[in-house]
Amino acid sequence: MAQEADGWLSEETLSLWKREQARLKARVVDRDTEAWQRDPAFSGLRRVGGVDVSFVKGDSVRACASLVVLSYPELEVVYEESRMVSLTAPYVSGFLAFREVPFLLELVQQLREKEPDLMPQVLLVDGNGVLHHQGFGMACHLGVLTDLPCVGVAKKLLQVDGLENDALHKEKIRLLQAGGDSFPLLGGSGTVLGMALKSHDRSTRPLYVSVGHKMSLEAAVRLTCCCCKFRIPEPVRQADFCSREHIRKALGHPGPPTPRSLKAQRPKACPRGDSGESAALS
C-alpha cells in the first residue's frame, strides 16, 4: 500500500486510480491535430501555456498551482493565475497526476470560462507524457482532461522500459553539440518513448520531451526548443516563478521578489526535425 499524509491509501482507491488511468489512456492522441503543428515555423500558433505545482518548503501538503499563458513567438506573459492548494491525495509512484492535475485542471477551466480569448493552444507540463511507468504521465492526463495539445518536459530521465542513465546514455548526452540536437529514447520494448533534447547552446543537461496529447513527438521537440530562452522552456519557467512568488507573498516571507527574467537571447532558429536523429521519427 501507499502511505497517505494521514494514513494509508486503500487498495480500493488504488484500484480505482488504475481503472481511471487506463480509461483515460485509451483517449490519448499521439499525432498532430492542428495545422500549426505541421508548419515548420508554427504559423498560426499565438499562445503557449505552462503549468507548475510548487510546494511550501518542508511541507508535503501545502502547495501552489500556477497557470501562465505566453504569446508566441515573443514568449511574453499575457495571463497568469496562481492559487494555494492542499494536496491531500497521497504521492504514489506512477500516479502523480491524481495528486496534482485536479488543481491544474481547475485553473484551465477558469481561464476557459472567464477569458476564452487567452486560452493556450498548447500546454507545456513540467513532467512526463507517454514516457511513464504506465505510458500515461501528467502531460497525458492533463491533455486528455482539458482536450488541449500537451507536451511533457522533464528535467530528469524517468528510468522505465529499460531506459537507464548509464554510461551509454551519458555518452550520447556528451555528443549533443548545439541547441536543438537530440536523440531518441528507445525503450526495451522497441518503442520510442521520447527524446533527449539539448534545449540551449549553453545547456549541459538535456530535457526529456515526450508526447502528452494531440501532438507528435517531432512537433513537441521542435516547440520545446523554440520556447527556450534558457534550458527550461519559458512557459514552464514562468509558471514555476509564479507559483514560488505566490507562496512567498502568501506566507509573508520577507525579501524582494525573485527576478522574473534575465537577459537572454531567443534561439537563433527552431530546428525543423528534417535531419539527423529527428528524421527517424517521421
Taking the complete model, does pTM exceed 0.85, yes or no? yes
Residue by residue, pLDDT tens for the chain (282 residues) are: 333 444 468 899 999 999 999 999 999 999 999 999 999 999 999 999 999 999 999 998 999 999 999 999 999 999 999 999 999 898 899 999 999 999 999 999 999 999 999 999 999 999 999 999 999 999 999 999 999 999 999 999 999 999 999 999 999 999 999 999 999 999 999 999 999 999 999 999 999 999 999 999 999 999 999 999 999 999 999 999 999 999 999 998 766 665 565 555 555 556 444 333 333 332
Closest Cα partner for 151 from 273, 51, 245?
Answer: 51
* Strand, coil or helix: 196: strand
Beta carbons within 8 Å of 227's beta carbon, 6+ residues apart: 48, 70, 72, 75, 124, 233, 234, 235
Closest Cα partner for 66 from 54, 88, 77, 82?
Answer: 82
Q: Which residue bears the cell 500537451?
A: 150
The answer to whether 255 touches 264, Cβ cutoff 8 Å, is no
Torsion angle defined by CA atoms of residues 6, 12, 18 and 22, in that order, rounded to the nearest 10 degrees: -140
Q: Which residue bears the cell 507562496?
A: 247
End-to-end CA distance of the chain, in Å? 42
Domains of the chain by start residue, with CATH = 15-251 (3.30.2170.10)
